[in-house]
Structure 1
């Protein structure tokens, strides 16, 4: 299978149902410097889908996260409005957070139908990157809702094993040779180091119950030779230790908002095409790159956390164990 079909393996607990997402959400944002608090005024939703198609009912509520934080403490919710597809909330949700940290966050709204058995049905979501948001405007914004990006609607995700990765971003002032700006060298900008440590519990692609695997890396949006990196092949094991580092030069701090590291694991087949064993994507996960909507900026969960950690502590290794997507 190709990476085009790589779906996200992380999904919110809840019945994603087969609801065709419609409608949108109206809100405004403000930031109170003295209290170091972000205020989210959730005004209303309009023309939502029915959570219960049979009874033509929706009992919608709105949930927010400041991604990449999807912890329980990071969750905020409005009240549930009964039997309406045009709920009026006029509710204030609050996050105490330093303004300098907001630029690295994305505000996620998701709308859910709550039924009398306590089950939740997904009605749509929208994400708002906060790095370019004008908090002074206080203007009301209406944004259309969309479906879960790459989510497996059936919720049946195949377990493909894990990849253990350490990453470090070294700004240009810190890495050796940054001062010698020889022309024609990709020395400007910082350096991204990706230490591919090991994989665990890979799928057996060979008849003897093993795989001869390697990891391939691209720094998206570039999927060319200059961006491609590969580990050596580790033979006859489903728990390979690669212990190999990919280095990307000429990466500026602002690039980290727009690029995405795609790592894929393959079984080496000398006489035919290699078999895809799984992959991960590391980035800000907001579906955008340089102002364009892109489907590959879809990191979630631990992928997001690792990228965030690396950006937060330049010059230090950040490690994560990432579940491979199928």
Structure 2
């Protein structure tokens, strides 16, 4: 080998060492010295060397790709892998270390807030079970007239029942066990501290007082739905009260109750059937203790009677309207022509309505008599058939109306579904 060839070989060797020591460059693949071919024109590794390295199982490109991976791309891929984990492991020490660095980490749970929430729920639950305000009233017994005098003064701190944050309260009073004699106050609009100042009298003998209980029910008046009960107060052991039978001032907590059977009232009417003439006579006598439908605490009731056959209304009649009363007296007769061969197929649907000058008339309560009726309604009907040509009178409790929506064509044609306790009363 000449001197020039030696210098060229030394120059190529120094160049390869320089490339190996360059930062970020992959290490050179060791190549046998015999495989190198000296060339003055090309500094590249000959093809024989590349093919021989592939035969030896050395993949330079893959090794170079792994070694020249950028540090920033490695961090990004690591973060992506962490974000794709479904259940990352968090420890308390990590949160404590983060709190020590940043003070309060974003999104950290505060157990004291949940503890306060649970306390609020418990307080609300206990308040519902316990007091719902208080009722101030005065009791006195008049020995000369043998009357228990009850003056309802005011209610205080009532719970809100309306969306406006107020209520429309009134009080209903019974002297139990007699529920037929009932008094109630006027309705006070949009207040949680109503002042009633109303006096009510209950005729009762002094000797019977130990067996009687005074029952106050506080309601929230609702014009379009069932009245909500706020709570109740029960007073017994009258003789143990201080200063009784003289004037005794009392203040009692109103106890929360979950529900109350609202007394819709009772209706008294008689049934009489004349088989020879095919005439059915219903005499509306009177009603008592009707539910108040007006803001004045009264109603304008009338009675509507529908002659039914297989759920379809055949005819209807109604009484006159009695103004501003919860105990109307009618004494009015309603007559339907029913042939004897059809008497077993018909029934009567009787609705007590509240007349309204502005809006629609509302149903206070209903009752039903006939072969397909239940309880007293069937018994009254069978008694009428057993004793023809004789008026048979009974008191019937009114039940709540549950609206059952039918198609518009059926409603317009007067068809009524009256199965069970579901009724649709078209006004």
Instruction: From the CA coordinates, give the structure whose radius of gyration is larger.
Output: 2
- Output the TM-score relative to the length of structure 2: 0.32
Which is richer in strand? 1
Normalising to structure 1: TM-score of the pair?
A: 0.41
Higher RCO (CA < 8 A, seq sep 6+): 1
Instruction: Report which of the two has the higher share of helix.
Output: 2
